[in-house]
Amino acid sequence: MTAPHAVLLQLVSSGEAGPVDDAETFLLSVHEHRMTAAVLLAHQQGRLPLPASVATTLSIWDLAERREHLRFWKAIEEVHRRLAPTGAEVAVLKGVATEVRWYDEPGQRIATDVDLLLAPDVLDNAAELVAVIDPNRGMSASIDWLVRRRLLQHVDLRVGPVQVDLHFDPLKIGIPTRQIAEVWTSTQLLPTPHGTVRVLRPEIELVLFLLHLNKDSFAYLGPFLDVRQIVERAELDWSYLAAFVAEEGLAVPVFKSLAAIADLLGLDVNVPRPSGVRPRIWDRLWGPRARLLGDEGRSAAPRAQRLLSFHASGRMRDVVLESRRQLLPPRQLLEVAGRLQAGGSYLRSLTVDRFRANDRRLPVTQGRSAEHVIDYGSGGSDRANRVSLDGGKGT
């Protein structure tokens, strides 16, 4: 599968859709584009007639996703428990916190891991706190060196069966966030059934989602709905958002993305339309032909990700430094990523890393039937601890 099923596009654009005649293909597309809960809710509300077998399958998937989300909440609670003696705080980004905040019921937004932002006042102790959260990973002094120089923006940890992406930079697009203090001081406390958690201000959360869609090459339809939920449900201060984006120099990727989603979903929002060379280049990389290609589009996303920082205006020094980091990452970065090969040769390790980066995996749904596309018995992701040299990863 690649592009969303026609029924899915009809559903998100008009709020209702016609009958489904090709159940197997439809289910594969629902899974690939992260649309389980949205489709099931539309069916339950009478906006999308589905065969009984399809509705049953979606209900099973929905229950499994809710179970996964409970695991994520338990992981968040455990992180808070482990950090409590240190006094360090984290904010919850995206995922299950977004679901509680902007959706009506558990399971309505698919999450694949837990994203946390470490408070900027404890970044000098990043290595120690990484070891507190995930003792099995081990503490590396290189983490502190890299974080101080804004060269390491996140690290993947594990808490039990759950992957936890610990952010040192909130936007995590390669070039450092200028307003990291503002991001943290403007966070809000969100009461949830699982306790109170710290979350981003809605305007900054929206910016984060729009940038993340760029990093994923707009591959999946489901994440588009996050933007709609925030635009329609949050009382956004658009002047604050515009000022934040301008200070970061990110008007092109943010507003071009918002315009693309608003056009597809019919959102009633007055979006600035940047013009010039950068917007034209953006259109070539993330225009309509590059969007909604599912797993195939996501597999090619890292190539476009590396060019995202080039769309920042007034950030030439940061862009140059980021380009150098991508071409010749510091030895310490390879070490922390676990990519320093036996014998310690930097050039050998870098060559192997480049080779692996070009080794694309087949889409997860290729060659599988709808009943096999999700394995909920694995207890979470089986990916090893790692950090991304390209600044991003999957949804």
Among 61-70, 306-315, 324-333, where is mean pLDDT lowest?
324-333
pLDDT of residue 77: 98
For CA atoms 237, 242, 247, 249, give the dihedral sign.
positive
Q: Which tens digit of pLDDT belongs to each residue from 76-88?
A: 999 999 999 999 9
Helix (H, G, I), strand (E, B) or coil at 364: coil
Report how far residue 381's alpha carbon sits from residue 384's, in angstroms, rounded to the nearest whole number.
9
pLDDT of residue 355: 63
Report how far residue 386's alpha carbon sits from residue 393's, in angstroms, rounded to the nearest whole number.
11
Bin 348: left if φ > 0, else alpha if -120 < ψ < 50, else beta: alpha
pLDDT of residue 22: 93
Residues in the chain: 395
pLDDT above 90: percentage of residues in the chain: 72
> Are 31 and 373 a contacting pair, CB within 8 Å?
yes
The model's confidence at residue 360, banded by pLDDT at 50, 70 and 90, is very low
pLDDT exceeds cutoff 70 at 9: yes
> Are 77 and 194 a contacting pair, CB within 8 Å?
yes
Bin 90: left if φ > 0, else alpha if -120 < ψ < 50, else beta: beta
Element (H, E) at 163: strand 162-167
The model's confidence at residue 331, banded by pLDDT at 50, 70 and 90, is confident
The model's confidence at residue 364, banded by pLDDT at 50, 70 and 90, is very low
- In sequence order, which ranges of the chain are alpha helices (DSSP H)? 6-14, 23-32, 36-44, 52-83, 95-102, 126-133, 141-148, 180-185, 202-215, 224-233, 238-248, 251-265, 277-286, 294-305, 316-327, 331-336, 346-357
Report how far residue 127's alpha carbon sits from residue 140's, in angstroms, rounded to the nearest whole number.
6
Q: Which residues 6+ apart lie within 8 Å of 323 measured at CB?
A: 309
Largest Cα–Cα distance in the chain? 63
The model's confidence at residue 135, banded by pLDDT at 50, 70 and 90, is very high
Q: Which residues 6+ apart lie within 8 Å of 376 measured at CB?
A: 64, 67, 68
Sheet containing 188-192: give its strands across.
154-159, 162-167, 114-118, 90-93, 195-199, 188-192
Helix (H, G, I), strand (E, B) or coil at 93: strand
What's the whole-number mean pLDDT along residues 110-138?
A: 94
The model's confidence at residue 139, banded by pLDDT at 50, 70 and 90, is low
pLDDT of residue 362: 38
How high is the mean pLDDT of the chain? 87
What's the whole-number mean pLDDT along residues 235-257?
A: 97
Report how far residue 197's alpha carbon sits from residue 306's, in angstroms, rounded to the nearest whole number.
32
Residue 157, amino acid: L
The model's confidence at residue 344, banded by pLDDT at 50, 70 and 90, is low
Report how far residue 20's alpha carbon sits from residue 265's, in angstroms, rounded to the nearest whole number.
21
DSSP assignment of 171-236: S-BSBPPTTHHHHHHT-EEEEETTEEEEE--HHHHHHHHHHHHHHTTT--STTHHHHHHHHHHS--
Do the bridges between strand 90-93 and strand 114-118 make them parallel or antiparallel, or are there none, so unpaired?
antiparallel
Report how far residue 362's alpha carbon sits from residue 365's, in angstroms, rounded to the nearest whole number.
8
pLDDT of residue 106: 81
pLDDT of residue 1: 53
pLDDT exceeds cutoff 90 at 259: yes
Do the bridges between strand 162-167 and strand 114-118 make them parallel or antiparallel, or are there none, so unpaired?
parallel
pLDDT of residue 361: 43
Q: ∠275-281-283 over CA atoms, to 5°? A: 80
What's the whole-number mean pLDDT along residues 279-297?
A: 92
pLDDT exceeds cutoff 50 at 381: no
CA-based nearest residue to 102, from 230, 7, 15, 217: 230
